[in-house]
Structures are given as structure tokens and as C-alpha cells.
Amino acid sequence: MPTRPDALDRAQAALDVLLEALRSGRADQVLAVEATLGEAAAVFRAAHHELLAGDPIQIRTRLLTLRHTMARCAALGGMMSDLASAAQPPRTYGRPVPVRLLV
């Protein structure tokens, strides 16, 4: 069974890699992190009982750091999605909508 520090370290490391991949704006790097993130989540889930046995202040601090990193990843991912949507021409029923410029 994974140990508490290993579970927290792996989860944080995977999220840090995801955050850097999102910052780079390269979809291939984001996709490459998927397996590592899944493995880290599995280790974290398996060690959750052991987490409860640790120092509550230290665990809380580290979990808040993980949560903050996840929120940053979500914000960057949402921004990338919004940017991709804005770069696409508007569509209605799968057809492009003509854009008229006001002169």
C-alpha cells in the first residue's frame, strides 16, 4: 500500500506537470500527462485512510495546496477552451454564420 507522503507527492507532482503543460498551450503535453495523473489519483485514493492517520495540520496544508493547484489547472483549461471557441467562426446548425462588419 502506498504511503501518505508518496500519495501526496505523486498527486502534487502530477498536477504540477499538468499545470506546466496547460501554461505551455500545447495539447500534446496536456494529453501526455493524462496517464500520470490517473496513476497519481489511484495512489491517492488507495492511501486515503492512511492520510487520516497523519498530522492533521500538515495534511490539511498539503491538501489545500493540491486543491489550489487543481483550481489553477481548471482555470487555465477553461481559458484555453474559451480561447479556442472564440477563435472559431460562429456556427448555427453546423453551418458558418456570416459575420457582418458595421462600417
pTM of the prediction?
0.71
Write out pLDDT tens, residues 69-93.
999 999 988 887 787 777 777 666 7
Asked, for residue 99, whether it belongs to a domain, the answer is no
Asked, for residue 54, whether it belongs to a domain, the answer is yes
Asked, for residue 93, whether it belongs to a domain, the answer is no
Asked, for residue 95, whether it belongs to a domain, the answer is no
Q: How many CB atoms lie within 10 A of CB 97?
A: 10
List the domain range (segments joined by +) for residue 21. 4-85
Write out pLDDT tens, residues 27-68.
889 899 999 999 988 888 888 778 778 788 988 998 899 999
Distance CA 4, CA 91 (A): 49
Asked, for residue 97, whether it belongs to a domain, the answer is no
Asked, for residue 10, whether it belongs to a domain, the answer is yes
Place of cell 462588419: 101
The total of structural domains in the chain comes to 1
Angle at CA 97, nearest 5°, toward 92 and 103?
Answer: 145
Q: How many CB atoms lie within 10 A of CB 60?
A: 11
